[in-house]
Structure 1
Amino acid sequence: MASSPNLSQSYRVTSDDPRLCLARADGWSRQQLPEALGQCYCEHLALSEDLLLVRSRYLPTRQLIEETGPSHGCAMLVITFGLQGESGYRSSDGAHLAFRARHTTVSAFQHSQGERCYQTGDSVAQLRLLVSERLLGTYLGAATAGELLGNGQLRQLAFQRTSAASSSLAHSLFGGLQPVATASLDRHIHCLSLLSEQLRYLAPAAPRSSPQFSAQDLEKLERVREIMLAQLDQPLTVAYLCAAVGLNEFKLKSGLRYRFDATPQRMLLELRMRHAYRLLENGCQVAQAGYQVGYRFPNNFSVAFSRFFGQSPKSVFGKRR
């Protein structure tokens, strides 16, 4: 995988810089960067008030940083299908997303000001679905949709290899459907099929009974997270966490799902990876960063980090120096 751009040597396009805006008869609208920067454009099509389809193609003539605006009007689920090349996104609070060919990145946000990063000469093609909280609520219920989208800050929910079925649909949508009478309907069905596959992973069916949690239980669940943060370098187990806070295994696991929408393993992994990313940015060696978050073998850490962020630890090392 290519290393991340050297941001100090990149050409920066601010959110206020002019872009060529074109509205097409078929409903697509295009925003295009100046030709001097290469072939760099993004096209949008509103399938409904709550479902937006976006396709982008970037082939910059120089390392490019494109700033993004501060917010959407509502919380959104964003599903990005990498069709060609790779790029990155960093929000102003340091959260990072990676996009790579043949991989799907799922994120949630409402308030996210940041920057997209592209390498010189890399051809990048991506298809995105932006889904509103209201539409998610239609399929999942308002409570589940709200838990999935979180507090409006940028969150990465998934990064995984695109299935063969989704890849076929995404390429069809990117290339444009044949101009037949049912093209609009076919496009909508394709998009809902892509959404359906992701929701099966992100929001599995709820258990038949919903446990009740007291204020004391919720305090103990917060304490679980605090213990994880304080002991990222230790081989923490569910049994240890249960004993440390005084919860049985069922209540701890169901409570973390209820309170943080995470399993114990997933929460610990996310906390470890986020801390490791900050350590690497500040110049910590890969092996040292891995050791500080509980990985005794650097190779195991590198594999886990690359799976989580979609980029290697070495590509992050020393970014802020």
Structure 2
Amino acid sequence: MAALQKISQSYRLATTHSRRVSHDECGWMRQQLPEELGECYSERLTLDNDLVLLRSRYHATRNLIEETANPHNRPMLVITFGMQGDSGYKGVDGSAVAFRSGYTTITAFQQSQGERYYEAGATVSQLRLLIGESLLNTYIGEQRTDQLLGNGNVRQLAFKKTSAASASHVTALTRYLNQGATTKLDMHIHTLTVLSEQLKLLSPPAREKSLQISAVDIEKLDRARDIMVEHMDQPLTIPYLCAAVGLNEFKLKEGMRHRFQSTPHRMLHELRMRKAYTLLESGCQVAQAAYQVGYTFPNNFSAAFTRFFGKSPKSVFGKRR
């Protein structure tokens, strides 16, 4: 009841209501609500054809309901960083989106018509990135772009605490705005960096198909290990092992993790070090042991051995005599 009463007492600002519009030499367009409603304005800068930066600051003198509509009439991804205060949006289609200080809200839409809510006496400051379809296609491909943008209705894709990395770039952008920066370059760099982070969260790199290991594959993996044991004095490479046992690189690497809880490189290194230890214990000279486990230069072998066992080859030499 209290919430309904608060809304009923709010001032409703229609999309047709007069707003003072101004432009500056840097390309910013500023829209300001009438002064009697408080200090309420938004600033907009087009960085690229499909990349827009928008900053808003509202400190309303009364509860305010502002009708909004998407002026682009094309699919958009909107990333909103809440810097101060909370506000909300309710669409005519029943959608509802919250914006909160310290949180990042990501929405997608083509046609949005609804209302934004601001509480009297509270300061609400937000920074938004508006990204169009063609730019998204460039960065993440048409298929993933279509999945994110959906059917055109308002969709909330994420609502999470703003990361420290994004917060630092948002702070830098705000600083440039406050200083009235005359160049877009630094702002463009910070904007694209933030966009990159958010797109990675929304569109992680495609993963390989889940590994299916057959009995034949297991035999091939065991054979690859046997080759390492039998020919560790040779400069074994992953392409050679793949060709020798008939597995592709992905299946060899993932198969090793599945079967031996190791990687080809790590397994070969461990086999070489343990073989060298046995050779040294039996009285083999350091240089001879190095050559027998695939090292051309004894100094490189000594360094690798010391890192692996925490002691030098000379300290092991001849201990089993």
Which category describes the TM-score, using the shorter chain as reference length?
0.5 to 0.7
Q: Is the 8 A contact 2:76 2:132 kept in 1?
A: yes
Aligned position for 2:111: 111
Aligned to 1:188: 188
Map 1:62-211 onto structure 2 (within 5 A). Answer: 62-70=62-70, 72-176=72-176, 183-208=183-208
- The equivalent residue for 1:38 is 38
Q: Return the alpha-carbon distance in structure 2 between the equivalents of residues 127 and 144 of structure 1.
A: 25
Q: CA shift at 1:7, angstroms?
A: 1.8
Cα deviation, 1:202-261, whole Å, max 9, x if unaligned, reads 111123359xxxxxxxxxxxxxxxxxxxxxxxxxxxxxxxxxxxxxxxxxxxxxxxxxxx
Give the AA of the match of 2:151. N
1:172: how far off? 1.8
Which entry has the higher C-alpha Rg, 1 or 2? 2
Q: What percentage of aligned pairs have identical amino acids? A: 54
> Which structure 2 residues correspond to residues 264-303 of structure 1 after superposition, within 5 A?
none
**TM-aligned CA deviation for residue 94 of structure 1:** 1.2
How far the C-alpha of 1:174 sits from its partner, in A, is: 2.2
Q: Do the aligned partners of residues 5 and 30 (structure 1) sit closer, same or farther apart at CA in structure 2, a change above 3 Å counting?
A: farther
Q: Give the whole-Å Cα distance in 1 for the aligned partners of 2:89 and 2:191.
A: 23
Q: Paired residue for 2:282? A: none
Q: Cα gap change, 1:75/1:127 in structure 2, threshold over 3 Å: closer, same or farther?
A: same
Find the aligned partners of 1:102 and 1:139 in 2 and give their Cα distance: 26
Taking the aligned partners of 1:207 and 1:71, their CA distance within structure 2 comes to: 37
- Aligned AA for 1:207? R
Q: Cα–Cα, structure 1 residues 124 and 177, in superposed 2: closer, same or farther, change >3 Å?
A: closer
AA matched with 1:164: A
Change in 2 beyond 3 A, CA 1:191/1:4: farther
Structure possessing the higher relative contact order (Cα contacts under 8 Å, 6 or more residues apart)? 1
- Matches of 1:4 and 1:51 in 2, distance apart? 37
Indicate if the aligned counterparts of 1:75 and 1:132 stay in contact, CA closer than 8 A.
Answer: yes
Give the TM-score of the pair, scaled to structure 2.
Answer: 0.62
SS at match of 1:115: strand
Label 1:125 to 1:5 Cα distance change in 2 as closer, same or farther (>3 A): farther
CA-based RMSD: 2.3
- Note the C-alpha offset of 1:173: 1.2
Question: Aligned AA for 2:116?
Answer: R
Alignment check: 8 A CA contact 1:87 1:98 kept: yes
Give me the whole-angstrom Cα distance separating, in 2, the residues matched to 1:11 and 1:176: 33
For residues 73-128 of structure 1, what are the alpha-carbon distances to aligned partners after superposition, in whole Å with 9 as ceiling and x for unaligned? 31000000000001001111111111111100000001110011000000010000
- Measured in 1, the distance between the counterparts of 2:5 and 2:183 equals 39
Q: 1:178, CA displacement in angstroms?
A: 8.5
Which amino acid letter does the alignment assign opposite residue 37 of structure 2? L
Query: 2 CA distance for matches of 1:202 and 1:90?
Result: 23
In structure 2, distance between residues paired with 1:154 and 1:178: 31
Contact map agreement 1:71 1:113 (CA 8 A) in 2 = no
Equivalent residue pairs, number:
209
Deviation at 1:180? 10
Deviations 1:152-201 (A, max 9, x none): 10000000000111111112212326879994211111001111111111
